[in-house]
Structure 1
Amino acid sequence: MSKTYSNEMKLLATKRVLSEGERVADVAKDLEIGQSTLYAWIKAAKQDDSSNGSLVVKSLKQRLEEVSKERDILIKAASIFAKELY
């Protein structure tokens, strides 16, 4: 039985290895994932690095959607409070 990990988890793990230079064994132990799993994520991240299907792009698009929704809520709240002031 295999576990399913979020894109954020995959991004965090691969970033720690590829960008920050941490050892695969240390990152895998810290995040409680198998080293072979982390190596597979790293391989996929390197292959998908320039395509739209990369983990980074997916994660950023998801975060952009969340932030856009939060912004819309804040704009509506601000307009309600502004109406109450006048």
Structure 2
Amino acid sequence: MSKPYSNEIKLLATKRVLSGGERVAEVAKDLKIGQSTLYSWLNAAKKDRSLKGSLIIKTLERRLEEVSEERNILIKAASIFAKEL
């Protein structure tokens, strides 16, 4: 059975590797964590980031479509008003 680790330890360890540029072996030894455990935390963190990124991209694409439609409507309205002058 695996030892339960707090979320603080998981966050600290993954940040040290992903952001701090430290090696997995060094961080695992320093925090007394198995390297395989740390690798699984890193994989989970990377998946979480990519999932958030894809959701953000989809949201931005939808918003871009809305703004583009609004812009096209304003261009048409401006051309109609310009013809009346």
TM-score range, shorter chain: 0.5 to 0.7
Structure 1 consecutive aligned stretches of length 4 or more whose deviation exceeds 4 Å: none
Q: Which has a greater percent of helix?
A: 2
- In the alignment of these two chains, the number of paired residues is 52
SS of residue in 1 equivalent to 2:4: coil
Partner of 1:2: 2
When normalised by structure 2's length, the TM-score is: 0.57
Partner of 1:26: 26
Give me the identity figure in percent: 77
Alignment map for 1:1-86 (pairs within 5 Å): 1-49=1-49
Unpaired runs of at least 5, structure 2: 53-85
Quote the RMSD (CA, aligned, Å).
1.3
The higher radius of gyration belongs to 2
SS of residue in 2 equivalent to 1:21: coil
Unpaired runs of at least 5, structure 1: 53-86
The one of the two structures with greater contact order (alpha-carbon pairs below 8 A, sep at least 6) is: 1
